[in-house]
Every structure is written in structure tokens, then in C-alpha cells.
Structure 1
Amino acid sequence: MSFNGSDGIIVSEYARLISPELIHLSQGVTIRDFVVIGLQNEDQELFKDDSSRHVWIGSNVILNPFAVVFEGATLEDSVVLEERTTVGSLTKIGARTRVLYQAEVYDNVVVGPDCIVGGFIGNNCKIGSKCSIFGDLIHRYDKADPKSWNTVDEIGPTIEDDVLIGFGAVIVGEITIGAGARIRPNAVVTRDIGRGERYPSKIPPAENHPVVTRDNGGNERYSSKLKIRLSVAIKGFWDKNRGGIYR
């Protein structure tokens, strides 16, 4: 089945559309080299029937090289998947959302419109509209038993509207991040965060650390006097004069 030419649809000859009869492309869709659409999910119990395996791709969606879209996914209008990103089965990506930085959005996830997603999003997470997600949303994995990996289905975090999650932050388990909250870089969150809350609430100071240098012979020299500031780049986000939206 060929989609090229109809309704302004462009599909690279190097893209792979698995079971084209289950893939629905709207007008203006661009599918670039080495994209895979309709990849079969290992967990076939996700699907109630064959109708839930259909892939729906809205108008003016752009899929960049090596993006992978699993069976049962929905990409609404004007979604962009950047290079090497993944969208899982039964996952819905809202209109005008951009998935970037090789982000992985797994199964049964809902992402609202007008978002930026640049992290790891585990199964069964919910993300509202106008969110910027640069950290990871993961499960508690309480049982910690590799044999139960595919048998225990955990609920992931819920992220309400207009939330910012900074680089390196990890949101753990069935918790809610309230609308307008700001999670600073490298934070680990295991509790609910209120609407508009900044977490952590206090800015930890940068620490002084000793430096190991090398002499002309390549030998290591330890200096207790020479100090550097750790995490200066991250502290730049936090500094009250330069913290911007993280303040």
C-alpha cells in the first residue's frame, strides 16, 4: 500500500509501516528515513481486540529518522517525534506536542497537548497540557523481582497542567505533581507535590571539593587547597537572580 502523494503525505522509501491496513495517516504527514510504525508489542494482553491495534496519526505530524511508534498508538495533529524517540502501545500524544532528546514514552500513557517531552516515561503515566518534561517518570518497583517484570502492572505518576520537570529529576510511583509545579534539576520526588509548589523548596548550596591534578610526569597530585564548585551549571538554574522559571 502506498501513501505517497495523497493529501500531501510523504513517506520515505526507507521507512517501515508494519500492517499498513492498520495505519491511518492524515493529510500532510511526513515520515522520514528508517521510521518504524506499528511495531508489535511483546505484551499482547494489552489489547482487548484487533481494533485497539490501529495506529492513528493526525494531520501535519512529522516523524524523524529512527522514530518508533508501536501498534495501538495515537499521535494527534502536528505532533513531532524527533530522532530515535519511541511511543508505546495504547499511548496518546496530544496535539502540537514535541517528543525529543531520544525520549521513550512507553505503554498506556496519555500526554496532553502543547507539551515538550524529553525524558523516560514509564507505563501508565498521565501528563497534562503545556508541560515540559525533561526528567523521568518511573514506577516504585516495590516487589523488585525480575520474574514479575511482565506480570505486575504499576500505575505511574500523574503530572497536571503547566508543570516543569528539570533535567535529571526522577518522579517515582503513583503520585501527583500539581498544576504549575516546578521540579528542580536532579530532584527525586516520592510524594505528591502541590499546585504551584517548587521542589525542593530550599536551594542546596554548591559544595567545595578537592581537586586531583597531574604533574608533568603524569602523576596524580591531591590538593586540599585547590577547590572547585560542584554543579555550577545546575546551581545556575537555582540562583535567585538567574533561576528563571525554576525559582
Structure 2
Amino acid sequence: MLYIWRLARFFYVARIPFLPWILKVLNRILFSTSVPPSVRVGRNVSFGYQGLGIVVHRHAVLGDNIVIAPNVVIGGRGMPGAPVIQNDVLIGAGACVLGPVTIGRGARIGANAVVLTDVPENATAVGNPARILRRDGDCRA
């Protein structure tokens, strides 16, 4: 999945028409995933189960060393802006990160969480809507 996306991204950056779109459609058919070539993806990003069911906003930014489980939506909310996921983040299965939010470095998003606000660095966010459960260094759970 990522190999096809990287090829589509190459053609997108080179401003070659139609090929990025065709490769995006191929990814959608083969892997049931929608990651447009306009998305900026860092190094060592891992999509669980080859990206099964993952949808990413066309203006989203994904940092380095991110693990994204299946059926995750990183999308908009009908307003300008898209999610920015910083480095070393874990996003659990079925989670939704919606709107112009920033997920801080080292944060963890629980399974099926719906994130509508920023998540600070090294924090864990769970629930619908997501709330900060704990930050590294806190004694409470």
C-alpha cells in the first residue's frame, strides 16, 4: 500500500497528471484505503493490515515513526485545516482524528476514540469525544 502511495506521491510532486489519481484508485480497490498523494507522510509510518480501511484527509501531515491501526479516519470537519500528527504517535483501531487538530509527539490515541481537540505531547486520549486520560509522568490514571 505504501509503495503504491509513494509512487503516486512521486508523480504528484513531479506534476504528472492522472497517474497519481489512478494509483490512488488502485490503492482504494486493492487495500480499501484512501491516502491521497497530496498527504505528507514521514519515515517509518506503519499502517496496520496494509492500511485496511484507513482514510486520510488530503491536507493531513503525518510525522515519523507513526503506527496507525486499521479503520482509522484522519479527516476534516467541514472547516479549513486538517490534522497534523507529530512523531512517535500510536493511533488505535477505529479512531477518528477530525478537524484542524495537532496530535503531539509521543501521544497515544485509544481504539475508537474521537479526537476533536489538540492532544499534548506524551498524552493518552480515549473516549468519544476524546479526553486526556493521562500524561507520562502523572501518577493518576
TM-score range, shorter chain: 0.5 to 0.7
Query: Which fold has the larger relative contact order, with Cα–Cα distance below 8 Å and residues 6 or more apart in sequence?
Result: 2
Report the 3-state secondary structure (helix = DSSP H, G, I; strand = E; otherwise coil) of the residue aligned with 1:137: strand
Mapped partners of 1:107, 1:141: distance in 2: 21
Would you tell me which structure has more strand in proportion to its own residues? 1
In the other structure, the counterpart of 1:11 is none
CA deviations over 1:160-217 (Å, ceiling 9, x no partner)? 00101111100011110001100000000010000010002449xxxxxxxxxxxxxx
Which consecutive segments of 4 or more residues in structure 1 shift more than 2 A? 100-103, 200-203
Work out whether 1:103 is the aligned partner of 2:37: no
Deviation at 1:108, TM superposition (A): 1.8
- 1:172–1:181: structure 2 CA closer, same or farther, 3 Å change rule? same
Work out whether 1:184 is the aligned partner of 2:110: yes
Identity %, equivalent residues: 29
Total equivalences in the alignment: 113
Give the 5 Å matches for 1:17-96: 51-53=14-16, 70=20, 85-86=27-28
Give the 5 Å matches for 1:118-137: 118=51, 119-134=54-69, 135-137=72-74
In the other structure, the counterpart of 1:194 is 120
The structure 2 residue matched to 1:167, chosen from 93, 107, 110, is 93
Question: Does structure 1 conserve the Cα–Cα contact (< 8 Å) formed by 2:102 and 2:118?
Answer: yes
Give the 5 Å matches for 1:133-144: 133-134=68-69, 135-142=72-79
In the other structure, the counterpart of 1:116 is 46
Mapped partners of 1:105, 1:161: distance in 2: 18
Deviation at 1:155, TM superposition (A): 2.4
User: What TM-score comes out, normalization by structure 1 length?
Assistant: 0.39
Report the 3-state secondary structure (helix = DSSP H, G, I; strand = E; otherwise coil) of the residue aligned with 1:70: helix
Question: Where does the alignment leave 5 or more consecutive residues of structure 1 unmatched?
Answer: 1-29, 32-36, 39-45, 56-68, 74-83, 87-99, 143-153, 204-246
User: What TM-score comes out, normalization by structure 2 length?
Assistant: 0.66
Report the 3-state secondary structure (helix = DSSP H, G, I; strand = E; otherwise coil) of the residue aligned with 2:15: helix
Would you tell me which structure has more helix in proportion to its own residues? 2
* Aligned partner letter, 2:73: D
Mapped partners of 2:16, 2:81: distance in 1: 22
> In terms of Rg, which structure is larger?
1
Question: Where does the alignment leave 5 or more consecutive residues of structure 2 unmatched?
Answer: 127-131, 135-140
Report the 3-state secondary structure (helix = DSSP H, G, I; strand = E; otherwise coil) of the residue aligned with 1:194: coil
